[in-house]
Amino acid sequence: MRDEVVDGGSGGGLDETASDEQVGLMVRDLHERGLAGDLAGVAAAAGGRSFRELEALGRPHVAAFSLPELVMRLEFAELIPDEDFEAAGVAPDEVAGVRGFALAWVEDVKLRRAEEGDTDVDDPDVPEID
């Protein structure tokens, strides 16, 4: 099982010592809106928490928390213009780090879902059912 501690960099200049409640609200915003500032805030405040921990902190603040929805928001990070991140307070040289944080989270979720059998994965060792 993957439970890596993540370091999202300093995107947005936020304090990495944010409380669990603050981080949960940031994850909620990312899940619900997916704006550059939302992603930068979570990346900056991750503070050594694993992706699973971040999800667990956000879950109580979202009525219908959905990993597929979160993954969609995270994947969208590649399409957000650099200017949007910079307007949210991310230094130009930190934008790639924030995007990397999002992509690492996506990869983590997808690997976990495959490991836990929560997704359709072609396995050549499993015979087809007639």
Ranges of each domain in the chain: 11-115
* pLDDT band at residue 92 under the 50/70/90 scheme: very high
Q: Across the strands, what pairs with 50?
A: 5
Helices (H), 16-75: 20-32, 36-45, 51-58, 67-75
Over 70: is that where the pLDDT of 21 sits? yes
Spatial separation of the C-alpha atoms in residues 83 and 98, rounded to whole Å? 13
What's the angle, vertex CA 83, arms to CA 106 and CA 42, rounded to 5? 40
What's the angle, vertex CA 35, arms to CA 50 and CA 19, rounded to 5? 40
User: What's the confidence (pLDDT) of residue 17?
Assistant: 73
pLDDT, tens digit, for every residue of 34-73? 999 999 999 999 989 999 999 999 999 999 999 999 999 9
Per the prediction, the chain carries an average pLDDT of 85
First vs last C-alpha separation in the chain = 32
The continuous run of DSSP H or E covering 104 comes out as helix 95-115
